[in-house]
Structure 1
Amino acid sequence: MRPDARRTTLATIAQAAGVSVATVSKVVNERSDVAPQTRARVLELLHQHGYIAPVFRHAEVATNPTIEVQFDGDLKTYSAEALAGIMDAATDLGASVVVSKASRTTHWARDLVAAGRRALIAVTSVYTTAHLNALDRAGLPLVVLDPLHLPHSRVNSVGATNFAGGLAATQHLLALGHRRIGYVGGPAIAVCNQARMHGFRAAMEAASAPVPAAYVRSGEFTYQAGLHGGAALLDLEEPPTAVFTGNDEIALGLIETARTRGLRIPEDLSVVGFDDTLLARMASPPLTTVRQPIREMGSVALRTALRLANGEKVESYHIELATELVTRESTAPCR
């Protein structure tokens, strides 16, 4: 979000109320020498315009600035690693972090500023134009980590090279001789899921390997989605010999479904995940996956948020860090 976005001034409120700037200032500073009717009219206009007092809006970044980090939904392994990266950077830069669950009440943006927050980092969240306008009025910079939707031009975001990761994962399976390869991903509308799926499709097309419609499944980035998506693929008359999944949790759910059907990983079915969280290393067998530099992404998000809070301009609204294929024991040559 641009830190120089236009915001409401005392003069704006004074003109709308038909009073002097000095009168509005008295109301803002809770002076008693203002008529009750005038005070009520000014307060109503301050509320309508989402006015934030200059003490919060223009203060220099404190020695120990506080950044709000909000998560949507339940915290997962991905969330923990992202938060670890944010905390590492905050420790290095002398900043404080407050973690909360996203709750966008009527005055949520103003309340964050009033509580002393200097910027907001939203992890895998969706922000509408109304949300962005509220943050603009409050003067609160926003950085979205791993956005679910295509980044708005007004939003600073940090992500990873999801298309390249999907391409590398599928090329790995193709190099092992697999041609019947499925994809079980997250929400169809999620931009990261779309990029991973497009990378998968690009690799398959380049290898002239067909992708039946039934081989591509969308759901959530959850273990349960892996259970259900895996069952749908393995129930096919001609099931895939390998599956690329949208994240590590989905991969583990799919592996469990295969196990309950007597299939061995990787002898009977090769599986590739995405993220390279702790789950990938703890899986049995250890999971081949695409490493998304989640901690580094969290660190970059924190540093970007502090720069915006200090009124600095950043070189790019959207930053993508490189992904990398990590080969372990869940993939093997097609028999």
Structure 2
Amino acid sequence: MKSDRIKFPAGFWAGLQRVGIDPYDVARKARLPLTILAESAVVTTAQYYKIWQAYSDLIGDTAIGIIKLATAFETTQYPPTVLATYHARDYRDALNRMARYKRLCPPESLHIVEEGERCTIELEWMHSEEPVPPVLVGITLAFLLELGRRGTGKPLTALSVEFSHSMGDVATLKAYFGCPIRTGATANRLTLHRSDLDRPFLSYNKELLEILTPVLDRSLEEQGSRSIAEMVKWILKRSLSGGHLDIRAVAKELGMSDRTLQRRLTDECTTFKKLLTQARHEKAREYLADPTLDIKEVAFLLGYEDQNSFYRAFRMWEGDTPSNWRFEYVESN
């Protein structure tokens, strides 16, 4: 199961600059803090979508934005998950690795089916209450073909491409993919010539894969071992300032019913209410450690309707007032 935490590779921002888009303009257009441009920045799915939509708005035409960026990424700036696909043995190995390692980060999943002379790759989205920007759908499918072209050194073409939304200048997409483009489809799919999957990669690097594969596989195992309670608490911390928090909304984000979530939390000897209290307590200490935030603002950021409710809760947690706790924290640091 995926958590709603996405780290942009540094190559993304460099790619934007190569197509003439200033990353600062994207952040401003998306109405997000400039801290998202930092190398270690982690964003939520909603923020991730806003960034892609901002890029699309700035570039103008969706199709042109897709092709420009798909071809602008330099292989030297691929993150480890993509490097492990670029240096695969052949195109099939690369695609299977891509589907496997997608689970480590972005909110999309790849479903690959080989049948007859066709290989169909369908995109599925997690945490997708927010509408997925068409430019992100397009670039994800375009990059799968770009990967095959770069790895094999051949000008591979697709059999067909289907998009569920309008994609701008379809002629641009047709020229890039080398096949018919269909919009308004029931799903987003890239269909390849199955015979192309057997093509060896010129970029195959056995030694590098022997280093990368165990590290990435271990990360997958660690992600799978994260408890439901940890994920719930992370979602709560991220959503506190939004006000009303209920188990149904969190369960939906985790892709399960509220009853299932309650059962899973009971199995881990905790409750939604306990996790909400812990999330507020931990974030309260974090916010109070920042002297630029006044107490009233901290109460708001924690989702309290009034300052007095926050005061009562904090006294129960720490046996002291927020202002006294802050004073002692500052004195001791």
Would you say same fold, with TM above 0.5? no
Normalised TM-score (structure 1): 0.22
Pick the structure with more strand per residue: 1
Flag the structure with larger Rg.
1
Pick the structure with more helix per residue: 2
